[in-house]
Amino acid sequence: MAIHTRIIDVTRKPVKCPVCGGEVVDIIYGTGDMTETEFFLEYRKQAVMGGDTIPRRPPVWACNLGCKRFRKVNYDGTDAPVRVKLLKNVRPAPSTVINWQSSTVAEALESGEGDMVRTYLVDFVSEFGEKETFRCTATSREDAAETIRQVVAHGRTGLVSPFIEVTNIREEQ
């Protein structure tokens, strides 16, 4: 993420980046050297990392592709009062906001077996006893369980436990 992106004054959060059309997300401060990917894995939200230095006139939103930052101003151009978002106040979104997809899904869709494709909620317990529920689109219950086992084992979820015990798999209604 380039640090010296230009800052644009806005009176409200833009729906999308006026330059590249990218999504506009919050800037989170107090993030040290945390990367956007690390933040996403841990908090399951898109945001741009502001690091530990809060500028005197801080931009509060950014294009998630990194091209522009946005500072909130009043209609007369003066600085609007803002509360910057701090990492310590961010709560993780529920784990089920992310939908994992089995590698078998694309194949099933291509070969006309799309009716096998369902979305499952997979409950599991980590080896440290943490209970989680992940969402997964797959071609069977077993396929959903195996997909979740693999994404956890490969450390893609922010969970530190590489081994999980799947306790329940149910179809999402």
Q: Which residues bind Zn ion (CB under 5 A)?
A: 17, 19-20, 22, 63, 65, 67
Q: Least CB distance from residue 82 to Zn ion, whole Å? A: 20
Closest contact distance (angstroms) between CB of 47 and Zn ion is 15
129 Cβ contact list (under 8 Å, min separation 6): none
**Nearest residue (CB) to Zn ion, 17 versus 144:** 17
71 or 141: CB nearest Zn ion? 71
Contact call for residues 47 and 28 (beta carbons, < 8 A): yes
State the Cα–Cα distance between residues 95 and 40, nearest whole angstrom.
11
Q: How many CA atoms lie within 13 A of 28 on its CB side?
A: 23
Shortest Cβ 24–Zn ion spacing (Å): 8
Q: Which is nearer to Zn ion, 20 or 86 (CB)?
A: 20
